[in-house]
Each structure stands twice: as structure tokens, then as C-alpha cells.
Amino acid sequence: MTLRESLLQKAKKAKIQREMGNGNQVLTPHDLVTKDQLTSLSGGDFYAPCSQPALTCLLHGYDGFNNSDMELVELCVSKAREIFGDTLPDEVAERLEAELDGILKHNYSPVYMLAYKIAKMSNDAGYPVWLRGSAGSMLVAYLLGISEFNPILNPLQLDLPFEVYAGLDGELDRVRVPCMDISVSDEFLSNHQEDLEKMFEPFDLEGKGFVKIYLMWADSTGSTGLADSIDLTDSVSSANPTNNLTGLTNPISSGNAIYINLIKCNNLTRIKRLEDITGVDAKTIPLDDEKTLSLFASADTLGVPEFESEWFQAAINTMNTINTISTVNITNTINTINTIPPKTFADLVKLYGLFCGTNTWDDNAEALIKSGAATLSQVIAHRDEVMVHLMQQGIVREMVYEIMENVRRGKGLTSEHRDLMLKSGIPQWYADSCDKIGYLFPLAHSMAFVAMALRLAWFKAHYLEEFRVVFDE
């Protein structure tokens, strides 16, 4: 039996189980009850009394998504063959089967298909997208065109284990369905709002449905802002989205909502403008272009959004060597660039992860690099790095996942974790660094972010006049 046949068989099995009813998954979109009944069943303000498994089962019943399992399998297998050949490398086949097993098992395929349709709509209109958060660690996301990075067998040598997003068996290790954070062009959102609303019409059951879908868009300024959040389905709920992330915490974490967050990004609009003016397809821009990387090494990043701020504009007037990532303060950045000027894509990704994490740089990676205990490539900047490194040292996957989750959440190492790591050849400084970390950023997010910045910088390096025209608009 081929991989495709095996996966399609599992997709059919998942559909049969949903139709027959399996434990708390007996609800269907036709099991509509009154508002009062829903309120009493849920015990709260959210009109979705069904559990997470039932919620995802319901999605399969709506028009346009009732064949999501089969469509997802066919799309992924077809794209994999296109990229890797008809006979998939063992590593690719095993990874794809593991990811799709989890998605099919937990009935998550409609969520991935939602993200796929949004990304396809944007790409078909000529606007790139980039997937935020840890979802980009999924091979499935890459094959669907939601993420541009192949998490395995990529020339960048930056491994992205799917467990970082999906958990050990695809269950996400959370009490909710998968969420997707996608940066899209602000111009695309303005021009296609009606099309996006139509895409979600099948989910609007005139206030009687169980499923609540939040399709939101927000400005990319600031780490807490979710401006102009909109509930396109207009379903019954007293928990309408507000203009900040806090207002969305309950429906998301309760498992009663599907969460697709579209973040307006004017840099993606600028990339399209530059493509139109120069005739260069941004996807073909190499991420190892020396002239482009020299801009970052010499701190010539003025005009490269996300790598500049008002703070750094003032600093650049008095310094010839400064580089910045918007989430770090000026003092730390100056110290960092003086210590380790970035020379490669991987360097920039590492630095971005260090700055976006908590307690990753100060009295941690910085001290290790300055003392010579570790190099930039060896220090811990992302949660994925912990998982990959410990597995390479021979620690079993389940224990590695447990350690990674503890470290990324700032819980540190247990005595059992520390003893195991040291016995496995992990150096003392690495274990000590894990204990200092308060939060670790996902590698996939850093890669997508830096890739976008590098492409903008490439246009600055090679098409300076056109670059200036676009940024003066």
C-alpha cells in the first residue's frame, strides 16, 4: 500500500468514526438547540457546549469543508511528490505520515484547509503571506503553501520538529483546536474583505450554530495590539472580539472557537510594490546574498522595517555600526552588535530569537559568548533548538519534549532532567542556560520574519532608487 493510499484510508476511517459518533463526538451541525439551552449546557457566555473533539467534528459538516480530510491528504501528497519526486525520501514520508496521522486523528483538517484557502487567495492575488508562531514547523504547512520553509531537508540546516507546534501525537497538547496567525498584506485585506467574508458564510448558522469562528485582522505595530478585530460570522455570543488579545482569551482557550488571526503587514505590500517595479520575484531572492547581509553587518538597516525604530534612528546618527530588531532596547542591541555582528541568515535568525525570548540574552547567551564558553550558533535562542540538540544526544523523544516544554515556558529543569542531560554529554553551561530562560521563541517565526526583512534589504542593496520610491509612498 502506498503512502497516499494509506493516508486516504485513514481519512475515510476518520470520517466513518465521526458519522457513527465516538464518545463525545456525536454532535453534528444539525444538532441545533436554542440559545437558552446552549447557555445552560455551556455554563457560561459561550454558546458552544461541545468539547474540543466535538467542535472539530462539527466543522467537517459544513459546506466546503465536509471533505477536508481527503482534500488535505491529496494536496499534501501531490505537492510532496512535485518537490521530492514520486518516490519520497524516507524522512519526508515518515514526517508527512506522522503529521497527517495527528491531524486526521483529532479532526483538525478543516482548520488547515481554512488557512490554506486564505493563503492561496492572497498568493493568487499576487501578495505573499508569512506564517507566524510555531505552526511553520509543520511539513504540512509548507506543502500547503502557508509556510515557505521546508522543515526538513532544507539547505539552511535549521531543523523544525513538528512536535513544537503539534505535540507528541498531533494533539497540540492544549485544550483547544489549532490556531493560525498569518501576516498578510494590508492592501490585500482592504481589497478582499468581501471575499474573506464569503469564505466564512457556511459557518454562519444564524446564531444557532455551535461553532464560533474568529477571523481577525490587526496592525503589526506593537506586541499586544490586535486592532480592528472582527467577527465575520456574527454568531451569537456575548464574547465578541475586542480590540486587544485579552478579550479573546476565554473563547480561544475554552476550545469553543476557531481562531484565524490575519495580521496586517504593510511590508508585504511593499514587497509586492518592489516586485512590480523591478520585475524581480521576491521568492527567488537568495537569503545568503553577500551584499544584502553586509547591510546588517554594517548596521545600514535604515528603511528596512522591523529592523529599525526611532531609538535606532537617533543612534545611527552617532554610530556607524548598529543593527536592531524592534523588540529589543537600544542598550542591549549596541552591546550585541559590538560582540557578534551578524554575517549569515542563520545569525540573524539566532539574534532575533534571542531578543524575542525572555532571559535568553542578558546574563545568559551574551555572557557565554563573551567568555568563550559557547559560540552564537551554540547558545539557546529557540525552543526547537533544545529539542533537536537533545535528541541528537540520544535522549528519548518523550523526555526531550518534556524538557523542551519546561524550558520554553520558563519552568527550568527538574533534577531528573539535569542529571539525564549531563549523563548524556550535555555541557554544564547548557543546562545552566536552560534554567535561566523565561521564555523561548519558535524558530519558524524567526525564520519567516528574518526572511521578509532580508528580502526588503535585498531590494535596498540592489535597487536603491526603487526601494526609496516605495518607502516614500
Whether the Cβ atoms of residue 97 and residue 7 lie closer than 8 Å to each other: yes
Residue type at position 375: T
Cell of 12: 475515510
Rounded Cα distance between 355 and 329, Å, is 9
Rounded Cα distance between 107 and 14, Å, is 8
Tell me the pLDDT of the chain (473 aa) as tens digits. Answer: 899 999 999 898 888 777 665 444 433 433 433 333 333 333 333 233 334 455 566 667 666 777 899 999 999 999 999 999 999 999 999 999 999 998 888 888 888 998 999 999 999 999 999 898 899 999 999 999 999 999 987 778 889 999 998 888 655 444 445 678 888 998 998 898 888 777 765 554 444 333 444 454 444 443 222 223 333 222 222 222 222 222 222 233 334 455 677 888 889 999 999 999 999 999 999 999 999 988 877 767 777 755 664 433 333 332 233 333 333 333 444 455 445 557 789 988 888 888 788 999 888 988 898 888 998 899 999 999 999 999 999 999 999 999 999 999 999 999 999 999 999 999 999 999 999 999 999 999 999 988 998 999 999 999 999 999 998 87
Rounded Cα distance between 342 and 323, Å, is 9
This prediction's pTM: 0.80
Length of the chain: 473
